[in-house]
C-alpha cells in the first residue's frame, strides 16, 4: 500500500482516526508521518491520534459544519475546538458537554461505554447497582456463548430485579441508551 500523503513510498504507519464520530483510516510512510507531527520516537497518545493528527495545523484539518457553532462546556467554558486541540478535557462536566464526540472516542479506545470497575464507597447505591447490572450483562454474554441458557435466564431475572431498585430517572436513561 502506498502512502496516502505522497503516493510514492510504501505506507508503514497505519492510523485510525475518528472525526465527527466517523472512523477514518490513514496510511502514511515514515517521512510523511513525521512531517505531520507524529513523533515515532515518543509514545503516541491514542487520544491525540483519535482527535486528529497531533500537532497538525488547525487550518489543514478537515472542515465540518459542526465546527461552525462551537459547542462549549457550561461548567468550565472549554470549547470543543480547545478540547480537540489539547486532547484533554477541562472538567468532569465536559464528559456531558462533549458526550457525542467522547462516546465515539471511548468506544474506539476501550471498546466499551460502561464502567464496571470500582465504585467510590460514598457514591451511593445507584452507581453500584448500575455497575452490577453491567457486570451481569457481561456474564450473560459469556453464558450465551457457552450455550448455558438456563444460567443466562437466571442472570436476566437478577438484572430485572436490580433495575427495579434504580430510581426512575436513572432507569429511563438506561433504557434510552439501550
Partner 1 sequence: MTLDDMVQRHGSWLESGVGEGPVVSSRIRLARNVDEYCFPGWASEEDNHAVWKQIEELFTSMNGDFISWGMTDTPELDREILFERHLISQELAQQDDSCGVFVSADECLSIMVNEEDHIRIQSLQSGLNLQAAWKAANEIDDKLEASLTYAFSPKLGYLTSCPSNVGTGLRASVMLHLPGLVLMEEMDPVINGISKIGLAVRGMWGEGTEAAGNMFQVSNQITLGRREDEIIAHLEQIVLELIDHETNARKRLMEEKSIIVEDHISRAFGILSHARLISSGEALNLLSTLRLGLDLGMVHELSRKELDMLFISIQPAHLQKLENKTLQPEERDVVRAEMLREYMKRAREG
Q: Is the dihedral of CA 83, 89, 90, 94 positive or negative?
A: positive
Distance CA 4, CA 17 (A): 14
Q: Pick the binder of partner 1 from 2, 8, 35, 110 (CB under 8 A).
A: 110
Q: Which helix (H) or strand (E) holds 133?
A: helix 124-145
Positions in 139-168 near partner 1 (CB under 8 A): none
By CB under 8 A, residue 114 contacts partner 1: yes
Residues 28-57 that bind partner 1 (CB under 8 A): 40-43, 45-47
Q: Which is nearer to partner 1, 17 or 106 (CB)?
A: 106
CB burial of 57-76 (b: ≥16 within 10 Å; e: otherwise) equals: eeeebeeeeebeeeebbeee
Decide whether 3 or 50 has the Cβ nearer to partner 1: 50
Q: Which residues bind partner 1 (CB under 8 A)?
A: 40-43, 45-47, 75-76, 78, 86-92, 95, 102, 105-106, 109-123, 126-127, 130-131, 135, 170
Amino acid at each position: 500500500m502506498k502512502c496516502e500523503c505522497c503516493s510514492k513510498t510504501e505506507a508503514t504507519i497505519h492510523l485510525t482516526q475518528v472525526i465527527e464520530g466517523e472512523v477514518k483510516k490513514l496510511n502514511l510512510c515514515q517521512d510523511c508521518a513525521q512531517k505531520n507531527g507524529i513523533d515515532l520516537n515518543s509514545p503516541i497518545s491514542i487520544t491525540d491520534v483519535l482527535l486528529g493528527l497531533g500537532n497538525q495545523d488547525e487550518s489543514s484539518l478537515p472542515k465540518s459544519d459542526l465546527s461552525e457553532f462551537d459547542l462549549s462546556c457550561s461548567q468550565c467554558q472549554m470549547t470543543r475546538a480547545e478540547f480537540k486541540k489539547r486532547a484533554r478535557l477541562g472538567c468532569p462536566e465536559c464528559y456531558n458537554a462533549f458526550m457525542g464526540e467522547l462516546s465515539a472516542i471511548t468506544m474506539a479506545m476501550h471498546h466499551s461505554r460502561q464502567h464496571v470497575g470500582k465504585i467510590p464507597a460514598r457514591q451511593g447505591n445507584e452507581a453500584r447497582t448500575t455497575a452490577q447490572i453491567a457486570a451481569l450483562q457481561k456474564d450473560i454474554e459469556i453464558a450465551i456463548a457457552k450455550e448455558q441458557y438456563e444460567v443466562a435466564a437466571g442472570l436476566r431475572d437478577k438484572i430485572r430485579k436490580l433495575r427495579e431498585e434504580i430510581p426512575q430517572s436513572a432507569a429511563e436513561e438506561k433504557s434510552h441508551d439501550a
